[in-house]
Amino acid sequence: MTYIASANRYQTMQYRRCGNSGIKLPAISLGLWHNFGHVDVADNYRKILHLAFDSGITHFDLANNYGPPPGSAEENFGKILKEDFRDYRDELIISSKAGYTMWPGPYGDWGSKKYLVASLDQSLKRMGLDYVDIFYHHRPDPNTPLEETMAALDLIVRQGKALYVGISNYPAELASKAIKILKELGTPCLIHQPKYSMFERWVEGGLLNVLGNEGVGCIPFSPLAQGLLTDKYLHGIPEDSRAARPTGFLQKSHITDERLSQIRDLNNLAVQRGQSLAQMALAWILKDERVTSVLIGASRPEQLSDSLKALDNIQFSAEELTRIEEILAP
């Protein structure tokens, strides 16, 4: 059956200007880090993408290594793009990244011009695109000169393979240097993608100020702390949860009694606000005007619908913010 997007898709989503640019992003963007690989069910992730666009989510965020296996999220997204979203390409912001291991040998990782240009060429082929809207360097490279990495981003824009560029996982001081180099090259940094949640707040130590002062957008990932900031862990660690798996970013050792107590106290506050814990956690990030959009993942359409309800209430009273700080204090 042919997909036809909802005629009302722009009526409920909020859009925010990305730094000093001409681009606006939806307050909630969809990340394809998990749940869109070859190991996942195509019918399910197709429904997630349809619901996202029907809800006004115009930004889909990918990277060369998303899957599993690496590259498969881009392949699957490209297939759906061709079959369902071809007529809507100019309504979409599609981003990709490079910076993690993609192929063997010295040119398949990190931040050299060789790697970044080659990786984007591969990403474009996988997605069936002439260009991406945003291309990021995915993580700082301690060995490649920052000037080379930023020159590669500048080159990619001049080649017409990306409209805008960004950086991800860069600490404040390094981000400031990268932004300055890109500005001098004539290809301003559009956006920074850091890890940020109630449980991971390093961006508050300077990065948000840098982005605000420089007119660069901010789009945090992992806003729900790999699922910790949901109702999933209110009663311990479920057997089917990420934390129960032997490998992965979230380990059982991360979920201490103190952490579980914080999750329950935050959940009680969310209930008082008429929200789920996940909705409150997303709203809490969006309360900062320096944040352009927040990146969420979804394993099923219902999860995405639930997250979108965060936009119904992103205002916090002074008392609520104080209470949150009390709960999060070590």
Q: Provide the pLDDT for residue 261.
A: 94
Residue whose C-alpha is closest to residue 51's, from 86, 8, 1, 96 = 8
Q: Provide the pLDDT for residue 71.
A: 98
Encoded tokens for 88? 């809507």
Cα-to-chain-centroid distance, residue 205: 20
Q: Provide the pLDDT for residue 330.
A: 80
**Spatial separation of the C-alpha atoms in residues 54 and 3, rounded to whole Å:** 11
Q: Provide the pLDDT for residue 232.
A: 87
What's 236's DSSP letter? Answer: S
For CA atoms 244, 228, 29, 3, the dihedral sign is positive
Are 255 and 230 in contact by the 8 Å Cβ rule? The answer is: no
**Spatial separation of the C-alpha atoms in residues 174 and 181, rounded to whole Å:** 11
Residue whose C-alpha is closest to residue 324's, from 267, 254, 260 = 267
**Spatial separation of the C-alpha atoms in residues 155 and 138, rounded to whole Å:** 17
Q: Domain coordinates of the chain in residue numbers?
A: 15-225+285-315
Encoded tokens for 301? 């359409």
φ/ψ region of 61 (left if φ > 0, alpha if ψ in -120 to 50, else beta) reads beta
Bridge pairing between strands 217-218 and 294-296: unpaired
Task: Kindly report the CATH class assigned to 15-225+285-315.
Answer: alpha beta
Residues 6+ apart with CB under 8 A from 51: 301, 304, 305
Encoded tokens for 141? 């490279």
Q: Provide the pLDDT for residue 1.
A: 81
At residue 189, φ and ψ (nearest 5 deg) are: -75, 120
Q: Provide the pLDDT for residue 234.
A: 87
Q: Provide the pLDDT for residue 69.
A: 97
Token pair 């007529």 is found at: 87
Which amino acid, residue 21?
S
Which amino acid, residue 79?
K
Distances (CA, A) of 57 to 45, 80, 170: 15, 16, 26
* Beta-bridge mates of residue 25: 16
Encoded tokens for 281? 């956690």
Q: What is the pTM of this model?
A: 0.95
pLDDT tens digits for the chain (330 residues)? Answer: 899 999 999 999 999 999 999 999 999 999 999 999 999 999 999 999 999 999 999 999 999 999 999 999 999 999 999 999 999 999 999 999 999 999 999 999 999 999 999 999 999 999 999 999 999 999 999 999 999 999 999 999 999 999 999 999 999 999 999 999 999 999 999 999 999 999 999 999 899 999 999 999 999 999 999 999 999 888 777 666 665 555 565 556 678 889 999 999 999 999 999 999 999 999 999 999 999 999 999 999 999 999 999 999 999 999 999 999 999 998
